[in-house]
Structure 1
Amino acid sequence: MSGPPPSPGLAPAERSQAAQCSSRCSQQGDSIPSPGPWVRGWKRVLSGVETTLSGLEQLWAQRKRRFPDLGPWEPALLPSEKSLTEWPVPKLVSLFLPEFPVRPPQGQQQLKNSLCLPCVPPQVLGFVAKGSFGTVLKVLDCGLGALLAVKVVPKVEVLQRDSLRQCKEEVSIQRQVRHPFVSGLGGSWQGQRHLFTMYDYYSTGDLHSLWATVGCFSEASVSLFAAELALGVGYLHDLGIVHRDLKMENILLDERGHLKLTDFGLSRHLPQGERAYTICGTLQYMAPEVLRGGPYNHVADWWSLGILLFALAAGKFPLQAEKDHVAMLASVTRCNYEVPASLSQGLSLLLRELLCHDPFHRLRHLYHFQAHPFFRGMAFDPELLQKQPVAFVLEARAVLPAPAEAVPFQDFDCDLISLPAHPCPA
């Protein structure tokens, strides 16, 4: 039996690795072997071993003092989980259900193949990003010859920051979205000490890296990316979702150079007519009504889009980030956002309408974009927009550094102590 073809988005070295994995699968046939080191490697990842429970024990003790009915800390299987896992499950696991089941969903073919086929284990190729709240890894699934992005978040951090509700909301939102310009969720599960979420991996990197490489974008490129983002953001708003962190770093580029809006860590469901008051996002992109602490709604995302397009077209941000939201609000209030004279009249008008301080007069509906002079002749149709690859994006890929050396997945430690300290090139 021949192995599955490698993903077209893989680099040559990664394609070679995937081919070797598929070849091993073919030579060993269809039979399912007895568990070996590679199986134990996956189980170690899923259960998050080699980390301490002390942080969770302390948090559980604090919660038990407030809620005596929580019961003991001792690991115990929940009735509904006895058929799903071999390792003892602490009662604390139930806090993360159902958004994070106790093992990868049966429907996730990538992980099913990795756990069942006689093949070498998946390999961690390096970091995609490492922040203060979780780490995203670039993973090669040898069974499918596909690249995945796996986000690993320690449970103790979720509870310490009291962000359980937002963590579950993020997964709920990404399970809901299905759009060509929005990144969806590949799967989510939990180990004893970590939460895992899986996404498609986009080898071209993010929009900020591209911007830092090429500088100012042509107006034709700005119009294409603006149309794709308008469609994606408009789709989210139609579902009652406000993103709240629209920025270049949260926009990925697929293998053909088109956009994928991602990172819903600050997003929330906000039904039409309701208002939010939480000050959150990235200072340089935050709308004035958000910096003031609300009330605000979905229209705040369009301000962020205006900041993003300004930076793409001008090669710089209209304002530098301040030390806190109070100083940023003062700076935003003083600025009138004069666009460079080199920009066309249509683009200047678009930026002024997006960067309107009054949210009631801000450009905020998809039909406003469709009828705007800057988009004259532009078809707001995802299929047509994606028909041709974005040439300058693909050319910029050639100057990116080579991928990091692979690390065997069975040697992977959820605390990421043994992996390189530098990000993996996209």
Structure 2
Amino acid sequence: MWGTGCSGAALWGAEPSCQGLPRAFPPSLLCGCWIQPLGLVKQQDRSRLGKRGTGESLNKEFLIWNKLGLVASSLLHPAVLGSAPCLLSEAPLPGWPLPQLVSLFLPEFPVRPSARQQQLKILGFVAKGSFGTILKVLDCGREKVCAVKVGVVPKVEVLRRDTLKQCKEEVSIQRQVRHPFVHGLGDSWQGQRHLFIMCTYCSTGDLHALWRAAGCLAEATVRLFAAELVLVLVYLHDLGIMHRDVKMENILLDERGHLKLTDFGLSRYLQWGERAHTICGTLQYMAPEVLSGGPYSHAADWWSLGVLLFALASGEFPVAPAEDHVAMLERVKQSSYESPPEFSPELARLLAELLCHNPLYRLRYLHHFKGHPFFRGVAFDADLLQKDPVMVAVAPRPPEQPPPDPATFADFDYDLAEPPDRPWPG
């Protein structure tokens, strides 16, 4: 919903004087503010934190640790606040032995050595939602504009909610996947408090923005987009990966108008013959077997594709949204999913074979799509599909809002909660 080739010191000059700040550890430059990192905490306090395990005790301990390590804003040097650039620089993590709050997230979220720690200049906000905050950043070390997804909850909360496996699996899957129609992973790491995932930045926007601007798309465009999504879903399923959140908002457009599937936050590995039971995804795209709590398999992704194609071609979803999965399941059961009369017979047949209530009878294999009349004349080859730009008016992404004044970021890696007196932009 994702430079200049020099170090931060060379780019922004030497570290300014921080008179009045404790000098036990060097302060971190964070979007215009200098804060004292958690180095103020004694080593025995860190060790105790690492031994306490997870759950409420760890949460309370970490909150105390956080408060101990933060320098009050009243101690910030005024000269620094007035002149520092907008940079995000991670605070150094404790040395060996690593506390449990760090080691549990390895190796998917590595700890960066201080010498190689990247400094990211925040250029603006892209989006903010239940998944977290996405920032547009400039990676000064690689001379590249990227998108950084910051986890919506801190690491302690990830452990408390027992979602550690899902967080790690998201990164593991994205590192494995290499496909022209997948938005690839650039990097991932952990800070003192939050998890970070970095990807390439797509300036064009997503499929949902295009759909809202156009109302509906011509069948020729729907056919091309469908072929690209079929290729990437077949690829993922061959690897045993179920996406579980195929929707327009999770499909980005590159500069030539071709698709990039993104957001693997709900994805999971599913071995042959294995079934899932978690109710997850986006209600309007969820297959009936997912809404009912399973068992379900990779076939659920093909239902989501059918809903997506129906909406692209008609301008509206086949079933209106409901308040919860129980009400949505009843609406899905009562719907016949009849195609509008303006659909071609070939498109209507494709949708009927994707939006089949029995997952065993849904289209799922590549040879089924290659032989389908709707795809007559389509070459299911990624290079050939990308040969020409998509002839549609690509909706530009709304301009990113500039980052707020430095005070908003003074506690960036400690608390991403919305300020009570000023909402986050984006």
Which TM-score tier does this pair reach, normalised by the shorter chain?
0.7 to 0.9
Counterpart position of 1:149: 147
Counterpart position of 1:95: 104
Do the aligned partners of 1:122 and 1:140 also contact (CA within 8 Å) in 2?
A: yes
Counterpart position of 1:250: 250
1:402 matches 2:389: no
Match of 1:126 among 120, 124, 127: 124
1:320 positional shift = 1.1
Letter in 2 for 1:199: C
2 CA distance for matches of 1:412 and 1:381? 48
Do the aligned partners of 1:251 and 1:260 also contact (CA within 8 Å) in 2?
A: yes
Do the aligned partners of 2:50 and 2:100 also contact (CA within 8 Å) in 1?
A: no
1:422 matches 2:425: yes
Counterpart position of 1:41: 29
1:402 positional shift = 3.3
1 CA distance for matches of 2:369 and 2:378? 10
Do the aligned partners of 1:127 and 1:136 also contact (CA within 8 Å) in 2?
A: yes
Gaps of 5+ in 2: 18-25, 42-47, 59-63, 67-90
Alignment of 1:281-296 (within 5 A): 281-296=281-296
Q: Relative to total residues, which structure has the larger helix share, 1 or 2? A: 1
2 CA distance for matches of 1:201 and 1:209? 16
Q: Give the TM-score normalised by the residue count of structure 2.
A: 0.76
Do the aligned partners of 2:49 and 2:100 also contact (CA within 8 Å) in 1?
A: no
Letter in 2 for 1:404: Q
Counterpart position of 1:6: none
1:401 positional shift = 3.7
Letter in 1 for 2:401: A
2 CA distance for matches of 1:214 and 1:35? 50
Do the aligned partners of 1:207 and 1:248 also contact (CA within 8 Å) in 2?
A: yes
Once the two structures are superposed, residues 240-263 of structure 1 have per-residue CA deviations (whole angstroms, 9 ceiling, x without a partner) of 000111111111111111111111
2:389 is paired with a residue whose SS is coil
1 CA distance for matches of 2:225 and 2:37? 43
Distance 1:206 1:420, change over 3 A: farther
1:145 positional shift = 3.8
Alignment of 1:278-357 (within 5 A): 278-357=278-357
Alignment of 1:17-416 (within 5 A): 21=4, 40-41=28-29, 63=54, 87=94, 90-103=99-112, 115=118, 122-153=120-151, 154-394=154-394, 396-397=395-396, 400-405=397-402, 413-414=412-413, 415-416=415-416
The count of aligned residue pairs is 367
Do the aligned partners of 1:104 and 1:189 also contact (CA within 8 Å) in 2?
A: no
Instruction: Report the more deviating stretch, 191-200 or 96-105.
Output: 96-105
Q: Give the TM-score normalised by the residue count of structure 1.
A: 0.76
Do the aligned partners of 1:74 and 1:90 also contact (CA within 8 Å) in 2?
A: no
1:197 is paired with a residue whose SS is strand
1:422 positional shift = 3.0
2 CA distance for matches of 1:365 and 1:132? 33
Gaps of 5+ in 1: 1-17, 68-72, 76-83, 107-111, 116-120
Amino-acid identity (%): 58
1:277 positional shift = 1.0
Distance 1:367 1:156, change over 3 A: same
1:412 positional shift = 7.6
1:392 positional shift = 1.3
2 CA distance for matches of 1:299 and 1:321? 21
1 CA distance for matches of 2:27 and 2:145? 19
